[in-house]
Amino acid sequence: MSGMLYLVPTPIGNLGDISQRCRATLESADFIAAEDTRVTLKLLNHLGIKKSLVSYYEHNKAFKGDQIVERILNGETCALVSDAGSPAISDPGEDLVKQCAAAGIVVCAVPGPCAAITALSISGQSTGRFCFEGFLSTAKKSRRSHLESLKKETRTMIFYEAPHKLLSTLEDLAEAFGEDRGISLCRELTKLHEEVVRTTLGEAVQKYAENPPKGEFVLVVAGAPEEIPEVATESDAAARVAQLMSEGLSRKDAVKQTAKELSLPKNVVYDAALALDEA
């Protein structure tokens, strides 16, 4: 009988955030797959857990994934952890989950710390609809097309960024979305120097150009304002009918087409065209 894959989130700064269930899952797993075994060893020492560790990260995941799947199919249970936060979210794990799912292995995610959700909840931005955008690419072309695709995004957007790239990312965001767009910079979450700066993109650029950023950041950017469609008036409808008739359409067809184009009821368009004729 095959084992299981557990995704185990780990603290993003405060060790007190490890849950009882995460601890129990790490204790009961046959082995732990870790992004960086040295980082995970420190956590396991803190928790007093001794367990066999294998490394699973970006540059070995292709062949390590196969080995892990093989072990699980042979009956072992694996707990996957990343350096901090939720595995598979801008961290190794996505491919392993896909591989396990394809092999018919049960995957169980233990809920827990995630920098994106922690930031969103305290950002003060709208939380009803949001999208997670991860890290922007460092390659200019794909970075530009990523930002271009978000220009009309009305949902709150969440980005991860490293401190040394923060300023240039803020400059690119300000260029794409405008200097007045709201942003919450959520820094060092769950740590001693936790801070949320709620400001605009323009002011954020100025602030961090003067004081180089330190620590880890999640950027929570307000969505674009909803575009309110213009409501067509009766005189718009009458003018359009007249134009279409002058182009050769019958009154009936002109009314039908105008009603469709302006999303107005046909009888409203007909009456408006008649009133114009009479005037």
Q: Where do contacts with ligand SAM occur on this chain (CB under 6 A)?
A: 12-13, 82, 84-86, 89-91, 114-116, 160-162, 186-191, 216-218
List residues bridging with 130 in a β-sheet.
156
Select from 43, 36, 72, 77 the least CA-distant residue to 57: 36
**Residue closest to ligand SAM when measured from CB atoms:** 85
**Contact between residue 157 and residue 130 where contact means Cβ atoms under 8 Å apart:** yes
- 187 strand-pairing partners: 195, 217
Cα–Cα distance between 38 and 72 in angstroms, integer? 23
Closest distance to ligand SAM from the beta carbon of 46 (Å)? 17
- Choice between 3 and 65, CB closer to ligand SAM: 65
Closest distance of CB 246 from ligand SAM, Å: 60
First and final C-alpha spacing in the chain: 85
Task: Give 3 or 213: the residue with its C-beta nearer to ligand SAM.
Answer: 213
Measured from the CB atom, is 188 or 261 closer to ligand SAM?
Answer: 188
Least distance between ligand SAM and beta carbon 120 (Å): 11
Q: Whole-number minimum distance, CB 206 to ligand SAM, in Å? A: 21
- For the CB of residue 132, give the shortest distance to ligand SAM in the complex, in Å: 9
Residues in the chain: 279
Q: Please, where are the H alpha helices in the chain?
A: 20-28, 37-47, 61-73, 94-102, 115-123, 140-149, 163-177, 201-210, 234-246, 251-262, 266-278
% helix / strand / coil in the chain, to the nearest 5?
Answer: 45, 20, 35
In terms of CB distance, is 156 or 258 closer to ligand SAM? Answer: 156
Taking the least distance from each CB to ligand SAM, the nearer of 7 and 255 is 7
Element (H or E) spanning 228, and its range? none
Q: What phi, psi does 6 have (nearest 5°)?
A: -110, 135
CB 156 within 8 A of CB 125: yes
Q: In angstroms, what is the minimal distance from the CB of 174 to ligand SAM?
A: 18
DSSP structure string for 244-271:
HHHTT--HHHHHHHHHHHHT--HHHHHH
Q: Measured from the CB atom, is 114 or 176 closer to ligand SAM?
A: 114
Token pair in block for residue 58: 């970006």
Q: How far is the CB of 25 from ligand SAM (least distance, A)?
A: 17
CB-nearer residue toward ligand SAM: 68 or 89: 89
Name the residue nearer to ligand SAM (CB basis): 89 or 272: 89
Taking the complex as a whole, the smallest distance from the CB of residue 133 to ligand SAM amounts, in Å, to: 11
